[in-house]
A = this chain, B = another copy of it.
Amino acid sequence: MPAAAIRARARAEMISEIKMIARRHLETEGANLSLRAVARDMGMVSSAIYRYFPSRDELLTALIIDGYHALGDAAEAGDAEVTDRADLRGRWLTVCHSIRRWALAHPAEYALLFGSPVPGYAAPQDTTAAAARTPAALIGILTDGFAAGALTDPGPGELPGPVQADVATVRATLFAGLPEALLARGATAWIHCFGAVSFELFGQLNGVIEARKEYFDHQMRQMCDLIGLP
């Protein structure tokens, strides 16, 4: 192995160690991540971190992208563990529960992805591809179902004109195999999944609903009905 490759390797390991420690701090301290604290934990001086990340925001961006991929992995793994591929409702519910379980296991990372945007921080374009993986896992179930004839197209009549135009664009770029109306219903269900997880995680359910998992399941089943999943 040439020396340059060794250096690159050491550098990559350094970067991943910084991210690991930063993630650990994130879990206990929340979104206001301290570079100095991370540096302290690594036995380095704070300025040394800047050799690997040009700013705190760049480190946050890296953590966000990693987070989107981790959530996407969880969603895809959830879908994959359903052996009966024709059980669309089972697949949908399993993916939703996988999303919720990941969020409960990594609350700070979830808040970073889906919570209030960090002030003065604009998510760069790089994040969108990673962010699309989780909804893509959900919509993929609908695509499978429509291809198998288990889902019927409600027809474009239920979408208002401007919305249909937006949905058509998304359909053209990502989900060519699915009618617009079904895609829109899937988006509604995905948004409700996000809403239910956020509502629970951000404390809005405190003192109101104790049977969290059952309540989430109930809502996701309502969304399955809305989509028309058999």
Interface residues of A (CB under 8 A from B): 29-32, 108, 111-112, 114-120, 123, 128, 131, 159-163, 165-166, 170, 184, 188, 191-192, 194-196, 198-199, 202-204, 207-211, 214-215, 217-219, 222, 226
A112 → chain B closest CB, angstroms: 8
**Residues of chain B lying within 8 A (CB to CB) of residue A32:** 32, 119
Residue pairs across A and B with Cβ atoms less than 8 A apart, 11 shown, are A29-B119, A30-B118, A30-B119, A32-B119, A111-B116, A115-B116, A116-B116, A117-B203, A128-B207, A163-B209, A195-B199
> With A199-B195, A214-B162 as given contacts, are A188 and B222 in contact (CB-CB < 8 Å)?
yes
- The residue in chain B whose Cβ has the minimal distance to the Cβ of A199 is B191
Q: How far is the CA of A163 from the CA of B218 in the complex (A)?
A: 8
The interface centre, meaning the residue of A120, A165, A209 with most chain B CB atoms within 10 A of its CB, is: A209
- The residue in chain B whose Cβ has the minimal distance to the Cβ of A219 is B188
Q: How far is the CA of A215 from the CA of B218 in the complex (A)?
A: 24
A215 → chain B closest CB, angstroms: 5
> With A188-B222, A195-B195, A207-B128 as given contacts, are A119 and B31 in contact (CB-CB < 8 Å)?
yes
**Residues of chain B lying within 8 A (CB to CB) of residue A195:** 191-192, 194-196, 198-199
Q: How far is the CA of A114 from the CA of B166 in the complex (A)?
A: 27
Q: How far is the CA of A6 from the CA of B71 in the complex (A)?
A: 57
| In contact, A123 and B203 (Cβ under 8 angstroms) | yes
- B31, B161, B170, B194: the one contacting A116 at CB < 8 Å is B31
A117 → chain B closest CB, angstroms: 6
The interface centre, meaning the residue of A111, A116, A159, A215 with most chain B CB atoms within 10 A of its CB, is: A116
- B117, B210, B222: the one contacting A202 at CB < 8 Å is B117
- The residue in chain B whose Cβ has the minimal distance to the Cβ of A33 is B119
**Residues of chain B lying within 8 A (CB to CB) of residue A208:** 166, 170
**Residues of chain B lying within 8 A (CB to CB) of residue A215:** 162-163, 166
The interface centre, meaning the residue of A115, A162, A195 with most chain B CB atoms within 10 A of its CB, is: A195
Q: How far is the CA of A119 from the CA of B159 in the complex (A)?
A: 40
**Residues of chain B lying within 8 A (CB to CB) of residue A30:** 116-120
> With A30-B118, A202-B117 as given contacts, are A166 and B226 in contact (CB-CB < 8 Å)?
no
